[in-house]
Structure 1
């Protein structure tokens, strides 16, 4: 079973950012040139404080231009964004996004304060190193073992070579734990030489978040991160939280110590740490950390140099903006007057108590505003799109703060996410309750508007006027009505491209430009999309596996069929009773069916090998790794009823039903 299809966060974040479009990109149109130039007057570009902070404390750059794995493959390329060294933004990039892209290019080892160092620019996230009395504490070891290993090597090249005595995961997203085995030997963890500390619920959330919708999210993440776009001024320039995501080996070391109190304290190798749990904020399992001896607050990913996502555009469960605001406010009240330095797991630090308090106050207010104003307008009867069009931007002076800009999240999609959290997908208008599916609706729309040629002519006129949002909308109808209409595809691509050039938001730009690329050149099957991580597969529980089997069950193939299967895992001492009935696959833990069609006995390692495609089910039966009492044919037939998902389904053109 291809479990690489069910780990979207992993697949999205290990996607290597490299590709070249087959069709050359168009230049910025006069309307786009004018729109982008206007940004220079709208925002305080003369404020260079962020550039000073991003460079402050630089100890050393990485000595090589690339980070490579043992097999020679490039895990990270420091030269990929060399084109961003030009001061002025090209016409094809929003100047505000260009500014952030330049800031995110600051890569190397930085001294934040005595005993606290930070490695930035070697992955999407930061790795922080705290120097204890006898060893070092590493906080958030990046995405892959290759980049984490290189980051630690850079630190050791300029600081005493003390052993790692503890690893801390601030939260359950892969860019904050995936490189663990690049800095720590698992044997040392098992021997008690290294502590691994994480918030309560970490393992469950790290493995299960978005599992069941993984294939869809993985495909959508290619758009969000621009994984198939070239790295140039008409392609991918940034990812908002950082440049991109590393390509390498995603690993996982299970925590040895969970923080499960609202406020908890530890002394680790002479360093006092106060942990503040912040569940349900940027991640389901997340925590801030305060270091009293260093007068430093780590805000994890609860505050960043951007407005964050309440709902990421790759898709996920909606986050709670109200809780997010509350926990930032709690951190401000508890630590604001005691902090001289604030660090986060993306971007650069903030120095000075007054600036820290302003930053946290603004971030708290931002998420409160998005939540409360959406609810206000919702209760006035406005729809999600109405609300997005009404609010448009944050209030001043917050809107002019660089760290509140729409680089990763945006007011537009975040207010729609708040609406979804409270009221769901339906806006209350019965006309939208059961609309025609996209292809049928598009065909009728284009026919009613006088046919494709008439619509295309009007769309070209709208494009010439710079009405790109409308051209993208009506162009989509043209393409869905007739995907073979090359003129419609070209015009739709042109409109999406100009929207991408104008976008301040990095993920919006990536999505627009990826859509344009696929309209012109088709889907790049086989494009880098991620690698299976054995550590993460092994961390999946048996219920995770069964839940995903149920998602893959094809209702047509299983119609009229019924069976009961008992599963016994000898190493885990776990038993399950599974039932197939009415094209639904269900199971009970700690149970066995009295009249089972078959009983399957195996260990979890065998299940993992099958999941990693290292072993097939028939081979496992033949070599005795799996013992089946009863009907082996029933077990084989069940697996024959399972769908295999296409990781390259269509997005900007119609997708046929399976």
Structure 2
């Protein structure tokens, strides 16, 4: 017999709400906290950064600065986006310390480079990423750069704007589109060759006529409701609405990428993007792909039209587009596409002005370097004879100069391709000679023809960790040495190392000597052993005048000093951010009073399939405790005509769709839309109309077996 309730305070179901809502974490900015006792660059760091000036072609380095400014039309006078609802969403002004002479770091009269706390190559990219505003790529194609981690591209169609990648936040996407529309008159006041080709006399704003998502990463779609509303989108009831084009698998990948490992990915992302660091010469300066992530409202509208094969040709608002599907390259679902009318290639994120990640430090599945390179070969074959400009979803375009030499666009695509192919081939070349992952990462060097191209420098990825990614892709974590097959975990390893070294004091004494020699990698490594081996019960912050444990104080401070110098030397923005955030938490401890990042948008929660919801619950299950119980539950969602049989047995939660048990412990009947509203906090569980049958206590016991993950877990501390 079913029992129906509408206003009972079923707080037990509230735990299900928390369990689901914390799974999808947005890439949001967090409030930075001051770095305690940031140190100056040591002589070893100054020398390392000075060497960068010698190794790279800084002399007459003007081409990228010219290209990054090319086609400039207008910009926001105040590059800050603030809304009443979200507060400060974007603030480029906090990076004003980067403004000034673009050749300062490595000018002949300024060696060692100034500032000496930032790798000169990264400083250069950080300055390039300060360019912001509305830019013409070619007449009819425009980009809004510098208003989020990614950039938004507008293509003029017959009736309006075809919008490519509407950024991370609704607020930044809205501000960018408004900047473009406010400049229609400015565009059309130029000479005839630079007017809007289809609307040369227009002065009022253009509407959005279509949207294209290049791939399934949140910084390329989550601002969608800043430029359109769900009601405007093409649907069965609105066949003439705005179409949204996306690669095959987009929706599944957009929703699932951060679900299963969402908590740990998001915590690590706070390191990767430097969200906890102040902006400045001893803090966060850049993200490599752009400055950082915006902090506004995220959203998701499902695509209406799916691109499922390479060579697919579609006319979008009068513009012919040829699509190239590139799944499993930079994202699980991704596509590039070509505009024959403009001789323009959108490379999505497969060809940018950096060595990209084959493995992202926040954590994700390793990417296929060979597949990525082969896609770029295919791009050259498909479009290389006709292309005149390539633009991506980050950085600035590359144009062909129409000279008699090789097409600069093709040359750029070839060298980006060869970068990933070389890393792939030579990693396996050395692996097949018996070298291990760590050894190959130390040994492998790029040829100068690749290494000295600025667009191949490791501003986001790095050669070191991309080599490790290729090794992992083919061979996994184990290097074949049985001594590494069953190693002790860090706390036990650290304790034994310290015992063998004669105690923590002796290890610290030796490490201080190595620090003075500039051996920061080793100092960080060995001090981490001391910290994990002896400091579990004595964690920072410490009273520096009378620390509770002098050895732990000395070890954490020395490791922090070493990580800080590594950060100052790092060319990769994420590497710098990881090192400096680690140093900060070693000195100050983990600040657990900072609000946990906001959970995913309502659109994302609603887009989760029921299978995905139950898979996420299974990850939360406390296995050994659950193994003491055996349950079957029927879950019925009348509004979407779905029913599921849930089973808990052997410490595992499994489910079967379109099936129910005749003898369940409990049957729960609730609309999926109501459950979504409760998860999102849009209604209270006491207001939801649902029914149950059987033993309600069994379902409550099951919910008590679902864990609630702590976001601010330790990373550099035990």
Which residue number in structure 1 is paired with residue 256 of structure 2?
A: 208
Matched, 1:171 2:215: yes
**What is the 5 A alignment of 1:111-510?**
111-159=136-184, 160-189=204-233, 190=235, 191=238, 192-352=240-400, 354-391=407-444, 393-483=445-535, 484=538, 485-510=552-577
CA displacement at 1:22 relative to structure 2: 4.8
What is the CA–CA distance in structure 2 between the aligned matches of 1:498 and 1:20, rounded to whole Å?
19
Which residue number in structure 1 is paired with residue 654 of structure 2?
A: 586
What is the CA–CA distance in structure 1 between the aligned matches of 2:473 and 2:116, rounded to whole Å?
37
Secondary structure at the residue paired with 2:183?
A: coil
Change (3 A) 1:136 1:499: same
Q: Which sits farther off after the overlay, 454-463 or 592-601? A: 592-601
Contact 2:528–2:716 (Cα < 8 Å) also in 1? yes
Secondary structure at the residue paired with 1:172?
A: coil
Which residue number in structure 1 is paired with residue 14 of structure 2?
A: none
Secondary structure at the residue paired with 1:546?
A: helix
Q: Which sits farther off after the overlay, 176-185 or 153-162? A: 153-162
Change (3 A) 1:292 1:116: same
Deviation by residue 1:107-134 (Cα, 9 ceiling, x = unmatched): 1010111111100000000100001112
Secondary structure at the residue paired with 2:640?
A: coil
Matched, 1:599 2:667: yes
Which residue number in structure 2 is paired with residue 7 of structure 1?
A: 24
Which residue number in structure 2 is paired with residue 560 of structure 1?
A: 628
Deviation by residue 1:286-308 (Cα, 9 ceiling, x = unmatched): 00010011110001001110001
Deviation by residue 1:242-276 (Cα, 9 ceiling, x = unmatched): 00000010011111111112221111121111111
What is the CA–CA distance in structure 1 between the aligned matches of 2:682 and 2:487, rounded to whole Å?
44
What is the CA–CA distance in structure 1 between the aligned matches of 2:532 and 2:712, rounded to whole Å?
18
Which residue number in structure 2 is paired with residue 21 of structure 1?
A: 34
Which residue number in structure 2 is paired with residue 73 of structure 1?
A: 87
CA displacement at 1:213 relative to structure 2: 1.0
Contact 2:19–2:706 (Cα < 8 Å) also in 1? no
CA displacement at 1:41 relative to structure 2: 1.0
Secondary structure at the residue paired with 2:244?
A: strand
Contact 1:2–1:613 (Cα < 8 Å) also in 2? no
Secondary structure at the residue paired with 1:275?
A: strand
CA displacement at 1:72 relative to structure 2: 5.7
Secondary structure at the residue paired with 2:245?
A: strand
Secondary structure at the residue paired with 1:345?
A: coil
Structure 1: runs of 5+ lacking an equivalent = none
CA displacement at 1:594 relative to structure 2: 2.7
CA displacement at 1:613 relative to structure 2: 4.5
Given the alignment, which residue of 635, 638, 645 partners 2:709?
645
Change (3 A) 1:615 1:553: farther
CA displacement at 1:7 relative to structure 2: 2.6
Given the alignment, which residue of 55, 64, 71 partners 1:50?
64
Change (3 A) 1:248 1:431: same
CA displacement at 1:4 relative to structure 2: 5.0
User: How large is the Cα RMSD of the aligned pairs?
Assistant: 1.4
Deviation by residue 1:559-603 (Cα, 9 ceiling, x = unmatched): 310110111111111111110011110111121123211111111
What is the CA–CA distance in structure 1 between the aligned matches of 2:705 and 2:424, rounded to whole Å?
44
Secondary structure at the residue paired with 2:349?
A: coil
What is the CA–CA distance in structure 2 between the aligned matches of 1:440 and 1:611, rounded to whole Å?
40
Q: Which sits farther off after the overlay, 518-527 or 336-345? A: 518-527
What is the CA–CA distance in structure 2 between the aligned matches of 1:528 and 1:100, rounded to whole Å?
31
Contact 1:3–1:612 (Cα < 8 Å) also in 2? no
Q: Which sits farther off after the overlay, 523-532 or 163-172? A: 523-532
Matched, 1:628 2:692: yes
CA displacement at 1:625 relative to structure 2: 2.5
Secondary structure at the residue paired with 2:706?
A: coil
What is the CA–CA distance in structure 2 between the aligned matches of 1:560 and 1:415, rounded to whole Å?
44
What is the CA–CA distance in structure 2 between the aligned matches of 1:210 and 1:71, rounded to whole Å?
25
What is the CA–CA distance in structure 2 between the aligned matches of 1:614 and 1:252, rounded to whole Å?
17
Contact 2:627–2:652 (Cα < 8 Å) also in 1? no
What is the CA–CA distance in structure 2 between the aligned matches of 1:593 and 1:417, rounded to whole Å?
45
Secondary structure at the residue paired with 2:487?
A: coil
Residues matched between the structures, number: 645
What is the CA–CA distance in structure 2 between the aligned matches of 1:368 and 1:66, rounded to whole Å?
40
What is the CA–CA distance in structure 2 between the aligned matches of 1:285 and 1:74, rounded to whole Å?
31
Deviation by residue 1:281-334 (Cα, 9 ceiling, x = unmatched): 001110001001111000100111000101101110011111100101100111
Q: Which sits farther off after the overlay, 518-527 or 54-63? A: 518-527
CA displacement at 1:615 relative to structure 2: 5.4
What is the CA–CA distance in structure 1 between the aligned matches of 2:116 and 2:329, rounded to whole Å?
36
Which residue number in structure 2 is paired with residue 59 of structure 1?
A: 73
Contact 1:7–1:218 (Cα < 8 Å) also in 2? no
With the length of structure 1 as denominator, give the TM-score of the two structures: 0.96
CA displacement at 1:624 relative to structure 2: 5.1
What is the CA–CA distance in structure 2 between the aligned matches of 1:36 and 1:209, rounded to whole Å?
37
